[in-house]
């Protein structure tokens, strides 16, 4: 049986999941009566947001010209935060459908995904989608793709994934042009783990691409890098639900239920071999774990949920190799974790999954990039958050990135004005297709990870796309901004900021706190400090009880005594007062950044 392994890659909302739906219908993998939109998007969050978050493999059996075929498709995400999902899937296939929306043309993420596919040496079929739309510009977009890819305009396929127009012909083109994998079943078994998930009965279930040899249920296996060993409890394929089978052979994509209960023993990108072969076979190369770019402190609101949070993070890590976490402790919150993410959407999705799937309510700290410093011994120190800060640090560096932005030329002026307010350098601008421009900037990563994209979309009325890649660490002038409340330093509110913005950031932060913190029976001072020097201050006025309300006239001396007594009481309260900060305040302080 001939095998074809391929992916669909594109920018977000260009029709990947809809095209996958049509392939499932054409091949009869899913019966029409059971078909629903975004069939491969199994998470509630994916359906709610209308985006693909997790890559999803599916095996489709198909017969063309009396030839039996096995088609293994992987539907991939399109958002920049989930690039690592795309890179993992590309390592498991031989071909890629590059899908471009005929109403929007090539977007920034299209370029990034294309570069990833080329790096893997995949055969690429360019396709324009949504040709049935009244806003479609098929000829214009085809010319754009042909120029960009340096291919003949006639080699670009036109479809409507929504109506199914030309989709059967596209599937035939896939079968004809995508190369089949090398099938070497006589060699020792070797497979690449490109994803995993946890099952309470089966243990860790690893999604694999069999590179060489074959594997059967009950055989002993070993992981080359982690050294973990196990017996295959079950193996099977995705249709798209997991369906057990007796054997997986070279070239196929499927899953192995390892029975391993400790999620930390399974690593995405690891190589599975027969037990005993781990010392004579080499690990598969080419896959690299992504490095988190955004770090946040995370604590359970209820400290009794700490162990639940720990287990939840370890299980999410199984199919999210970009998730980083390590234990840490703040006296105000107790035990928690320092967590690393690829961006704000990745953070949002992970937080929501923890809440929905594990029923954990969280408190989060200030989001921050990873800085580096030289200490007094000239040794490099990594700074994940303000808790890692030391006044002995002599110099600092921070990550910079190259940002590519595609916008309509009518928004050029407003976008230039927006970017001029940020720290960064304009490198290049040039026309891209009809009525569009590509802008290339270099800027600190901290400028991008917050509300950058959201603000860009607002300026361009939603007509902007961006992608970025990290460059290197460059010198930075940083300070630690401390927040003091009622004379006590609140480390959880402290943050590391550029010195040039420290006064503005301090002012904004104390103003937010003044609005968010509940009033007390005594006045509360809010201070922003750098190196012990107060650079911003606000005061939350005390609630006041009218101690004279019960008096009707009478001696002024008596009134004055009551007011003096009240004043003295407030003074004593202020000295003894324990200012407790509601947990939701921490979330609200940072969610509006």
Per-residue pLDDT for 569 more than 90?
A: no
Contact 161, 15 (CB under 8 A): yes
How many independent structural domains does the chain possess?
5
pLDDT over 70 percentage in the chain: 82
Q: What is the pLDDT of residue 289?
A: 63
Q: Is residue 29 part of a domain?
A: yes
Q: What is the pLDDT of residues 310-361, one digit of tens each?
A: 999 988 887 677 788 888 876 667 788 988 887 777 787 788 888 888 888 8
Per-residue pLDDT for 450 more than 80?
A: no
Q: What is the pLDDT of residue 567?
A: 59
- Statement to judge: residues 491 and 518 lie in one domain: yes
- Statement to judge: residues 25 and 164 lie in one domain: yes
Q: What is the pLDDT of residue 576?
A: 42
- Statement to judge: residues 118 and 52 lie in one domain: yes
Return the higher-pLDDT residue of 275 and 592: 275
- Statement to judge: residues 512 and 437 lie in one domain: no
Lowest mean pLDDT among 1-10, 486-495, 570-579: 570-579
Listed residues 222, 246, 274: the one ending a domain: 274
- Statement to judge: residues 565 and 491 lie in one domain: yes
Q: What is the mean pLDDT of residues 211-230?
A: 90
Q: Is residue 384 part of a domain?
A: no
Range of the domain at 360: 294-364
Q: What is the mean pLDDT of residues 51-67?
A: 75
- Statement to judge: residues 93 and 171 lie in one domain: yes
d(CA 543, CA 467): 50
Chain centre to alpha carbon of residue 126: 26
Q: What is the pLDDT of residue 578?
A: 57
- Statement to judge: residues 121 and 229 lie in one domain: no
Chain centre to alpha carbon of residue 66: 44
What lies within 8 Å, CB to CB, of 445 at 6+ separation is 293, 369, 398, 399, 400, 401, 470
- Statement to judge: residues 211 and 249 lie in one domain: yes
Q: What is the pLDDT of residue 40?
A: 46
- Statement to judge: residues 472 and 487 lie in one domain: no
CA torsion through residues 422, 425, 431, 432, sign: negative
Q: What is the pLDDT of residues 424-440, one digit of tens each?
A: 999 999 988 778 889 99
- Is 58 exposed, middle or buried, given 0-12, 13-18 or 19+ CB atoms closer than 10 A? buried
Return the higher-pLDDT residue of 555 and 141: 141
Q: What is the DSSP letter of 541?
A: P
Q: Is residue 254 part of a domain?
A: yes
Q: Is residue 389 part of a domain?
A: no
Q: What is the pLDDT of residues 72-99, one digit of tens each?
A: 988 765 445 455 556 667 778 899 999 9
Confidence band of 38 (pLDDT split at 50, 70, 90): very low
Residue 164 Rama label (left phi>0; alpha psi -120 to 50; beta): left
Q: What is the pLDDT of residues 462-507, one digit of tens each?
A: 778 888 888 899 999 999 998 888 888 887 788 888 999 889 989 9
Tokens of 533: 């020097």
- Statement to judge: residues 356 and 412 lie in one domain: no
Q: What is the pLDDT of residue 127?
A: 94
- Statement to judge: residues 160 and 21 lie in one domain: yes
Q: What is the pLDDT of residues 231-249, one digit of tens each?
A: 999 999 988 788 999 999 9
């Amino acid at each position: 049986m001939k095998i074809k392994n391929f992916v669909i890659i594109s920018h977000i909302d260009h029709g990947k999941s809809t095209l996958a739906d049509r392939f499932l219908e054409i091949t009869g993998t899913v019966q029409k009566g059971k078909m629903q939109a975004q069939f491969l998007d199994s998470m509630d969050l994916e359906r709610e947001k209308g985006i693909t978050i997790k890559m999803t493999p599916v095996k489709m059996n198909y017969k063309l010209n009396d030839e039996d075929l096995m088609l293994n498709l992987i539907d991939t995400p399109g958002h920049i935060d989930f690039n690592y999902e795309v890179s993992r899937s590309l390592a498991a296939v031989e071909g890629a459908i590059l899908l471009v929306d005929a109403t929007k043309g090539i977007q920034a993420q299209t370029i990034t995904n294309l570069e990833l596919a080329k790096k893997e040496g995949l055969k690429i079929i360019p396709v324009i989608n949504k040709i049935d739309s009244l806003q479609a510009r098929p000829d214009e977009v085809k010319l754009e793709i042909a120029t960009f890819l340096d291919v003949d305009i006639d080699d670009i396929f036109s479809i409507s994934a929504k109506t199914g127009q030309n989709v059967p012909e596209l599937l035939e083109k896939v079968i004809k042009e995508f190369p089949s994998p090398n099938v070497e079943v006589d060699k020792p078994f070797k497979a690449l783990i490109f994803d995993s998930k946890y099952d309470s009965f089966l243990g860790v279930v690893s999604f694999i691409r069999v590179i060489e040899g074959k594997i059967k249920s009950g055989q002993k296996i070993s992981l080359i890098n982690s050294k973990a060993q196990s017996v295959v409890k079950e193996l099977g394929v995705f249709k798209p639900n997991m369906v057990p089978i007796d054997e997986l052979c070279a070239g196929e994509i499927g899953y192995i239920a390892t029975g391993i209960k400790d999620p930390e023993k399974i690593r995405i990108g690891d190589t599975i071999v027969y037990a005993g072969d781990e010392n004579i076979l080499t690990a598969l190369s080419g896959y690299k774990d992504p490095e988190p770019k955004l770090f946040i402190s995370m604590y359970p609101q209820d400290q009794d949920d700490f162990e639940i949070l720990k287990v939840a993070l370890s299980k999410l890590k199984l199919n999210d190799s970009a998730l980083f976490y390590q234990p840490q402790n703040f006296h105000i919150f107790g035990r928690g974790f320092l967590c690393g993410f690829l961006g704000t959407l990745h953070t949002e999705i992970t937080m929501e999954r923890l809440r929905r799937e594990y029923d954990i309510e969280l408190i989060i700290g200030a989001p921050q990039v990873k800085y580096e410093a030289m200490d007094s011994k000239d040794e490099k120190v990594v700074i994940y958050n303000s808790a890692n800060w030391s006044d002995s640090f002599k110099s600092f560096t921070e990550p910079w990135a190259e940002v590519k932005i595609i916008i309509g030329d009518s928004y050029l002026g407003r976008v230039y004005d927006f970017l001029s307010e940020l720290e960064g350098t304009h490198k290049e601008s040039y026309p891209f297709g009809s009525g569009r421009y590509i802008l290339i900037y270099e800027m600190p990563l901290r400028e991008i990870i917050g509300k950058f994209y959201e603000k860009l979309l607002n300026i361009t009325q939603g007509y902007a796309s961006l992608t970025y890649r990290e460059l290197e660490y460059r010198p930075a002038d940083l300070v630690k901004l401390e927040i003091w409340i009622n004379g006590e330093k609140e480390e959880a509110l402290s943050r590391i900021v550029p010195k040039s913005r420290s006064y503005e950031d301090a002012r904004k932060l104390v103003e937010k706190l003044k609005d968010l913190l509940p009033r007390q029976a005594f006045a509360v001072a809010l201070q922003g400090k750098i190196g012990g020097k107060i650079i911003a201050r606000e005061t939350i006025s005390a609630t006041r009880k009218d101690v004279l309300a019960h008096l009707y006239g009478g001696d002024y001396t008596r009134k004055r005594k009551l007011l003096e007594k009240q004043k003295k009481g407030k003074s004593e309260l202020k000295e003894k007062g324990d200012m407790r900060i509601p947990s939701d305040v921490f979330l609200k302080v940072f969610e509006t950044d």
